[in-house]
A and B are shown apart, each in its own frame.
Chain A
Amino acid sequence: MASRGVQFLVLLSAIFGMWLALILKFSKQSTGYVKYAIYGFPIILGFLFGCYSGFSVIYNMIIFRTCPQKAEDLKKDVQEAKDFYASRGVRFD
């Protein structure tokens, strides 16, 4: 298996090839919206991908949980550890 970059380039060339074939075959016959859709295909694809990326990142940022309880628990654990060493007379300074 090649690197992700090579895989990506192969996929991209395949899509580009299909798009080019589509233009050569249909662009002369078709009119109006169909023509725009064919020519604008890469832009539409890029736009949709951008939308997906944006929504996905923002949605995940919003649901990214903050856990204040864990910070409190950690403080208690730190104290527990300090007490443990103190009870054994161990000093680290």
Chain B
Amino acid sequence: MVKYSVLLPTYNERENLPLIVYLLNRELTKCQVDFEILIIDDNSPDGTLAVAQKLQTVFGPEKIRIESRPGKLGLGTAYIHGMRFATGDFIIILDADLSHHPEALPQFIGLQRAGNYDVVTGTRYMNGGGVWGWNMKRKLTSRVANYIASATLGQASTDMTGSYRLYKRAVLERILPSMVSKGYVFQMEIIMRAKALGYRIGEVPINFVDRVFGESKFKLSEITGYLRGVWMLFWTDMKKASPLPTATKAQ
């Protein structure tokens, strides 16, 4: 049976982790597929790891696997770390904070199968997609950021900064070792490289529910960090890759 590995990097997600795991289990069971959820916790001080261990007793150690790391080492390396242990044929990546609802997964899996896509990416901008909890200013910022990326880097996806995706395992294994960016533009570099390498990219509409409404999440440092990232990618040859994939299938 085809297997799906969900990579779930966490940092201080003790509240959300049981909720997202429950919903992932519900939706993937609906799809009647074999799956595992890999929790990659960066030694969260709030005790996320203990919660993960408890979840393991509820759903079983085959479904819930824990591959934690000693400290906060960032998202990019979390994926590389997770890939080392993932046993699935497909890799699913989503945010653990419930802004990405697992209810979209049957659509991701269905589209991938129907079109044999190499990557399926969620997009907030497609018909049927959307956001909740964003005011006009936040929407404008998001649109400007996406426009800048599409105009300068080429439109690899209608949602360049989206991070809710399904990959064929081989795609990530090929791309991850050649990644140059961290942080804000990491997801964008993956999709750009996928496009440059000729992989087929499908899109499904997603609804992004921002639960931390009211809190201004956009600081100046984030904007400059984003622009610096785009500028760096602008001068990066997306086809230049390390010749050999370093991540290998475990077991």
Taking Cβ atoms with an 8 Å cutoff, the residues of A that contact B are 1-6, 8, 53, 56-58, 60-61, 64-68, 70-71, 73-74, 77-78, 80-82, 84-85, 88, 90, 92
Contact = CB atoms under 8 A, between A and B. Distances in A.
Interface string B139-154: 1101110010001111
Nearest to B145: A57
Interface residues of A, dominant DSSP = helix
A1 B196 CA distance: 9
B22 interface: yes
A88 B57 CA distance: 11
A85 B132 contact: no
B93 interface: no
B51 interface: yes
Interface string B107-125: 0000000000000000011
Contact of B130 (A4, A53, A67, A84): A67
Contacts of B19: 77-78, 81-82
**In this complex, which of A65, A71, A73, A90 has the most chain B Cβ atoms within 10 angstroms of its Cβ?**
A65
Contacts of A77: 19, 23, 101, 103
B54 A92 contact: yes
Nearest to A90: B58
Contacts of A92: 14, 18, 51, 54
A70 B98 CA distance: 12
B68 to A, nearest CB: 17
A73 B23 CA distance: 12
Contact of A70 (B130, B154, B196, B235): B130
A61 B125 CA distance: 10
Interface string B21-40: 01100000000000000000
B248 interface: no
Contacts of A56: 147
Contacts of A58: 140
24 contacts: A1-B237, A2-B237, A3-B234, A3-B237, A3-B238, A4-B234, A5-B235, A8-B234, A57-B144, A57-B147, A60-B125, A61-B139, A61-B143, A64-B130, A64-B131, A67-B130, A67-B207, A70-B132, A70-B209, A71-B209, A73-B103, A78-B98, A81-B23, A92-B18
B1 interface: no
